[in-house]
Structure 1
Amino acid sequence: MRRARCPRASAGPGAAAVLATLTAVLTTALPTPAVAADSVQLPVVRGSLAPGEPCVGASGRKAEAEPWSAGALGLGRAWTLEEGHGVTVAVVDTGVGAEVPALAGRVRALGGAGEDCVGHGSFAAGLIAGARIDGVGPAGVAPRAAILAVRGTDERGTPTPGRVAAGIRAAADEGAEVVYVGQALATGRKELTEAVAYAASRDALVVAPVAPDALAEDRDEPGGLAPAAPWYWPASAPGVVAVTDFGPDGGRPANAPGVRGADLAAPGDAVVGNGPEGAGHYLGSGASLAAAQVAGAAALVRAQHPGMTAAEAARQLTGAAYPASPPRLDPYAAMTAVLTGDPGTVPEAARARMPAPEPEGPRHRALLVAGICGGLVLLLAGAAAVLPRGRARGWRPAGGA
């Protein structure tokens, strides 16, 4: 998210009044996650359901205004170039509701993935490719991309490395150019790394959250949280674009999992999207939702540059991102930046450039000329000292008669 720098105002009543006004405007434009949730009063999407809990249905509430995330990503500008037409994004998650109005006519499901009891996969698919209903409310990053729904969890939203790995492979076999994974697993390094390599061999770009949206409760300590793992998969596998989240104020919640190994950051806190059915909206937070928006941006890049490989598209996303720690997603820049060099190398614009060595020929000629000139000066100086004395002696040697 780009921020303009303003000159520091001098102290004084007028400056204080202007500062107070700007603060009030910014507070209204960029609410904190808690304020956003209370003011909109949308139901919250979750990643899984407890045993026996009923499936999630349609939301009875709608968000009419454009979400803050659309402005943070500059989607209006990005859509002047491309909206994801012709690109398929696989959603390896809890499923995607095939009848979601925001995705109407653009969802193809494998197996039973056309039903979403939890709602997380449908929400993520909406962030990737949802279209506005009646021209209002939220929209996905690539609103003309197609969605391939692939189940990566059981019906209640519980993932396993085997399920997620199988989902990645199936998505690659079906020709998806981008594969979004909604889960971050502390185990399954080998099989998930192999699944990502399989997808890469079929030119599919995998995008995944760098950490879970929230740590599960530790059953040994009621009310406590399980410790965070040092790495999560498949985000830590080579070739994956690992994503973390930030909120309307540019920061992350104090209790959010760490961001070690993140390649990109994207809006993921207090974001608005569709549910598994109906035209109503939900509210969600977490790195998995930020990853969905990066997957949408990957669809824009691959639609804008159909000749790019998955590795080159990943480099466009990371190399053209807004410089921060970690870099922040900029879809427009990713579609328009010209990065030189091979994928995996430092972009040319970011390298320190050393001046080219000077050619040797001119240098040698300059030294030769300087040497000749110096010799002539010495000869003239000697002549100026010797000639007057020789003339005074009648050109006789010193000590002669």
Structure 2
Amino acid sequence: MSRPTARPALTALAAVVAAVLPAAPAAARAAPACSAPPAPVRPVADQPWPQQRYAPDRLTPLATGAGVVVAVVDSGVDRRHPQLAGRVLDGTDFLDPGGDGTRDCAGHGTGVASIVAAAPRPGVAFRGLAPGARILPVRVSEQQVVDGRESGRTVGAGDFARAIRWAVDHDADVLNLSVVLYADDPAVRSAIAYAVRRNVVVVAAAGNLHDSGDPRPYPAAYDGVVGVGAIGTDGVRSPFSQTGPYVDLVAPGGDVLMAAPGHGHHRAEGTSYAAPFVAATAALLRQYRPELTATEVARRIVDSTDPAPGRGDGYGAGVLNPYRAVTESPGPVVDRPIQAAVLPVDGTDPAAAAHRARRATARHRALLVAGVAGGTATVVVLLAAVLPRGARRRWRPAGPA
């Protein structure tokens, strides 16, 4: 769920529901078109503050996310937007069966996808952090926040779990989950473990209910998931961004510019919009270092963060730094114990092995040769020295407990 900013023009911005509600009756799920489509908005030429912070042009010579599939399990992704044209694959629709996930009645999923993969356009400063990535849209909601109230349909937890599995089975390399449940659902927990076993980087929003006592958010609180909190333009944790051990790092989530369905741009705030900055960074790493496992990608992103201006569980390891994540060697892990996966996992999965081999072949890079022996020795020394203390709790390669 995201919260609209205080700007008058943004009072009808969309948001995915904070807790996935019971599934709507079948008769109510057959809507052929959006009952309340988002209002049209104009393009914004100004450079958004996250791009000033991250200077994505520095990353372009290294990686763009090319060849990487980022699944956006959300309100759908509108491929008609000029900056998303040619970047959105045929997905699926768990809200209205038969759809391909490219109808967005809320605008939330389109905004999330654009933060990842929006292409540069003349006269528009906004662009995605990984514009070479491809978006796999999986539609599960059309909820909006209007005048402070949530309205619209959403799937139940069972369909949300099936949506996650569908994305994994359709070759997602990175999974962006800007949908938050405030209950530990066994089906969703199992689906997350399924994604982790199959070498998918799972990124989730940490939730916006800090003022309501920080209820535990899922999937962000599951082991193997990168939980993302939000900071504002001043670099300080946004007041709504939840605090707790499930926050692994923070990223821009206040006054964030993004694409709107159809055409144009709008601004919004929420941990929903912080998560795709991390998902995009994972896409860059999956292209630049295709030999890394999902666990290693997640660890590099967390270990390469910049120091946060504040202290406590609200910042996790620190502030996302995509450039450091891509270019730097892994650093020491500080006081973050790694725990076993939530679910026991059986032996080697042939499908996962084949998927990894296919990805490595498709994204083969010449610099894979450089420093393999040295990198291996570094990892061995790192594990021997650090693992007793460990990282906080996650990203242990899934395997028998």
User: Structure 1 length as normaliser, TM-score?
Assistant: 0.68
After superposition, the Cα gap between the structure-2 partners of 1:176 and 1:61, relative to the gap in structure 1 and judged at 3 Å, is same
Q: Which residue among 323, 327, 331 is the counterpart of 2:307?
A: 323
Q: Which residue among 268, 272, 295 is the counterpart of 2:279?
A: 295
Gaps in structure 2 of 5+ consecutive residues: 18-27, 94-98, 144-151, 309-314, 339-377, 387-401
Structure 1 counterpart of 2:294: 310
What displacement does 1:98 show?
A: 2.5
What displacement does 1:106 show?
A: 1.5
Q: Which residue among 34, 37, 46 is the counterpart of 2:14?
A: 46
After superposition, the Cα gap between the structure-2 partners of 1:153 and 1:143, relative to the gap in structure 1 and judged at 3 Å, is same
- SS for the counterpart of 2:219 is coil
> Is 2:183 aligned against 1:187?
yes
Structure 2 counterpart of 1:240: 225
Contact map agreement 1:114 1:149 (CA 8 A) in 2: yes
Greater mean deviation of Cα atoms: 320-329 or 265-274: 320-329
What displacement does 1:133 show?
A: 2.6
Structure 2 counterpart of 1:161: 157
Structure 2 counterpart of 1:338: 329
- SS for the counterpart of 1:70 is helix
**What is the identity, as a one-letter code, of the residue corresponding to 2:325?**
A
Q: What is the total number of aligned residue pairs between the two structures?
A: 304
- SS for the counterpart of 1:318 is helix
Counterparts of 1:97 and 1:43, CA distance in 2: 21
What displacement does 1:229 show?
A: 5.1
What displacement does 1:180 show?
A: 0.4
Structure 2 counterpart of 1:55: 36
> Is 2:99 aligned against 1:115?
no
Counterparts of 1:55 and 1:236, CA distance in 2: 33
Counterparts of 1:69 and 1:92, CA distance in 2: 23
Counterparts of 1:268 and 1:312, CA distance in 2: 25
Q: Give the share of equivalent positions with the same residue, in percent.
A: 35
Contact map agreement 2:41 2:260 (CA 8 A) in 1: no
After superposition, the Cα gap between the structure-2 partners of 1:78 and 1:157, relative to the gap in structure 1 and judged at 3 Å, is farther
Structure 1 counterpart of 2:60: 79
- SS for the counterpart of 1:244 is strand
> Is 2:84 aligned against 1:88?
no
Structure in which a larger fraction of residues adopt helix? 1
Larger Rg: 1
Gaps in structure 1 of 5+ consecutive residues: 1-32, 216-224, 354-401
> Is 2:216 aligned against 1:231?
yes
Contact map agreement 1:90 1:148 (CA 8 A) in 2: yes
Contact map agreement 2:41 2:266 (CA 8 A) in 1: no
Counterparts of 2:293 and 2:275, CA distance in 1: 20
Counterparts of 1:152 and 1:276, CA distance in 2: 17
Structure 2 counterpart of 1:199: 195
Contact map agreement 1:102 1:126 (CA 8 A) in 2: yes
Counterparts of 1:231 and 1:238, CA distance in 2: 13
What displacement does 1:66 show?
A: 1.2
Greater mean deviation of Cα atoms: 332-341 or 307-316: 332-341
Counterparts of 1:337 and 1:187, CA distance in 2: 37
After superposition, the Cα gap between the structure-2 partners of 1:301 and 1:44, relative to the gap in structure 1 and judged at 3 Å, is farther
Written as runs of structure 1 = structure 2, the 5 A alignment for 1:255-266 is 255-266=240-251
What displacement does 1:351 show?
A: 10
- SS for the counterpart of 1:294 is helix
Give every structure 1 segment of 4 or more consecutive aligned residues whose post-TM-superposition deviation is greater than 4 Å.
Answer: 41-44, 51-54, 340-353
In the TM superposition, what whole-angstrom CA distance separates every residue of 1:125-152 from its partner, at most 9, and x where no partner exists?
0011111332523111101110000123
Structure 1 counterpart of 2:352: none
> Is 2:43 aligned against 1:67?
no
- SS for the counterpart of 1:162 is helix
Counterparts of 2:11 and 2:132, CA distance in 1: 26
After superposition, the Cα gap between the structure-2 partners of 1:245 and 1:229, relative to the gap in structure 1 and judged at 3 Å, is closer
Contact map agreement 1:67 1:137 (CA 8 A) in 2: yes
> Is 2:143 aligned against 1:149?
no
Counterparts of 2:79 and 2:240, CA distance in 1: 34
Structure 2 counterpart of 1:23: none
Counterparts of 1:341 and 1:264, CA distance in 2: 16
After superposition, the Cα gap between the structure-2 partners of 1:100 and 1:120, relative to the gap in structure 1 and judged at 3 Å, is same
Counterparts of 2:231 and 2:209, CA distance in 1: 14
